[in-house]
Amino acid sequence: MAPPLVAGGGLLLAAFLAFSLAASSANAAVSYDHRSLVINGRRRILISGSIHYPRSTPEMWPGLIQKAKDGGLDVIQTYVFWNGHEPVKGQYYFSDRYDLVRFVKLAKQAGLYVHLRIGPYVCAEWNFGGFPVWLKYVPGISFRTDNGPFKAEMQRFVEKIVSMMKSERLFEWQGGPIIMTQVENEFGPMESVGGSGAKPYANWAAKMAVATNTGVPWVMCKQEDAPDTVINTCNGFYCDYFTPNKKNKPTMWTEAWTGWFTSFGGAVPHRPVEDMAFAVARFIQKGGSFVNYYMYHGGTNFGRTAGGPFIATSYDYDAPIDEYGLLRQPKWGHLRDLHKAIKQAEPVLVSGDPTVQSLGNYEKAYVFKSKNGACAAAFLSNYHMNAAVKVRFNGRHYDLPAWSISILPDCKTAVFNTATVKEPTLLPKMHLVVRFAWQSYSEDTNSLDGSAFTKNGLVEQLSMTWDKSDYLWYTTYVNIGANELSKNGQWPQLTIYSAGHSMQVFVNGKSYGSVYGGYNNPKLTYDGHVKMWQGSNKISILSSAVGLPVSFPQLSLFMPLDSKLFVTLVYGIGAHVE
């Protein structure tokens, strides 16, 4: 009889532990189920907006956060920018525009939650994707893969941020505003090109993050194979097609793109608010419970934080709050009204899944029912992009403009339609406050300072500058014999191939122009005739980088200047210089 008693005891212990874990989960300040995040025992429809603290000034933060709250937001979302916080390995910076703790506390003071996207890879059109440059030169490192040196550095920084948030009591269970955290960023699509180390790395990142015991859910955006302990989420212009990879996870949209970033030489993007509102209502009507506007305030890429190459300093993003902190109307006001309509139906929206009724060829009704089975809230949708229509629902008629959704919080009254904009268009008036003074600096191309050195072959620009400067001089000499010059006075042709991003060309101290790439094609070629003489000729190239790459796998392979100079003389006689 002894062995059965031991086995029975083991079963009782296992049952007790399972009950304890379940009770702990139920009592957690933030948990989740199939329908939504659960905060202090209450399911929530959460409207969030991205405001990146380094892309505005600390003086702007209170006003931006208040405008977000007035616009109907519940949550402020931000990345954590590793290269801003640890520009030198082991030396941390959390002041001025990088005062993360102050920013999170201001959100708390305003009565808003925070979604902290620790990454630490962020993309975000931010220089080097948020990675500090020194990381590239850690011996044996390979970014975002199953690589020991990279994982060690990543874990150290993630744990640093989590520890800081805990010590400041900023997680929700501590009385703080942080209800959710994110590890990595949009890594799922990269797994197919990341080799054998990609999937093990993604699993490791999830487990490492969960092991930090933040006490709030972790998410991984665009990560279809996110482990059971992590919620996979959607990013995009539309996410109504999205379904999480497990039935017990809520449907969440971590980046609803309000516009797009601006590149040098490119058009300034614009997304109509009618389409933005339609996308959000479409997501909510299908059971979505968390929407984050990326961006709600885009701000400015101050200093040299713009990534690239060729991302502009403005990160306005056509967001509801513009680059300068002013309301963009009618976008801000129309979305505010959308949020009010959604919130009127919040209790019933999170109580169960919708049923779908066909109202026509392009028209549908998404109906949320009360416990007794009666219609409690409804979304009436017209998916036709060009034609308005009148539909009949529950014995009443409703007019639906093309490509629009009407929200009926009580299943009767349409309180909001996504295509009916009532907020007037207001253009801000800009007034000159300070006159800017410009300074120019002269630099002799024929002189080299004490930092100059000679080497056969080319040197990677980033390995020299460590991103402390955008500029690097490359100099070489070409000796031309008496018989190599053209007898008809035609100058030699100089051709330079470069991986970018821009260059200015000087020969014997004289400028022969400049050339630059662009966002879609950063590589460039200089081709021109230059005056040379018999004897030694000095070719000087001022190379400049216009933002470091932000995406994988280019991060690991980055060489901002990989130039070869070909000096071709007339009559086919020439010199090849590398």
Say how far apart CA 358 and CA 367 lie, in whole Å: 11
Residues 255/231, Cβ–Cβ less than 8 Å: no
Say if residue 81 is exposed, middle or buried (CB neighbours under 10 Å; 0-12, 13-18, 19+): buried
Say if residue 20 is exposed, middle or buried (CB neighbours under 10 Å; 0-12, 13-18, 19+): exposed
At which residue do the structure tokens 């305003």 appear? 110
- Strand, coil or helix: 399: strand
Say how far apart CA 239 and CA 251 lie, in whole Å: 10
Tokens of 368: 């949320």
Say if residue 473 is exposed, middle or buried (CB neighbours under 10 Å; 0-12, 13-18, 19+): middle
To the query of whether residue 255 is one of the catalytic residues in this protein, the response is: yes
To the query of whether residue 186 is one of the catalytic residues in this protein, the response is: yes
Catalytic option among 86, 125, 255, 363? 255
Tokens of 455: 């080497």
Counting DSSP H helices and E strands in the chain, the numbers are 11, 26
Q: 493 pairs with which residues across the strands?
A: 529, 568
The residues, any chain, with a CB within 8 Å of residue 446's CB and separated by 6 or more, are 509, 538, 540
Q: 221 pairs with which residues across the strands?
A: 233
Strand order in the sheet with 416-417: 355-358, 363-369, 375-382, 404-408, 416-417
Catalytic option among 125, 172, 186, 346? 186
Tokens of 526: 């200089």
Say how far apart CA 144 and CA 127 lie, in whole Å: 16
Active site residues: 186, 255
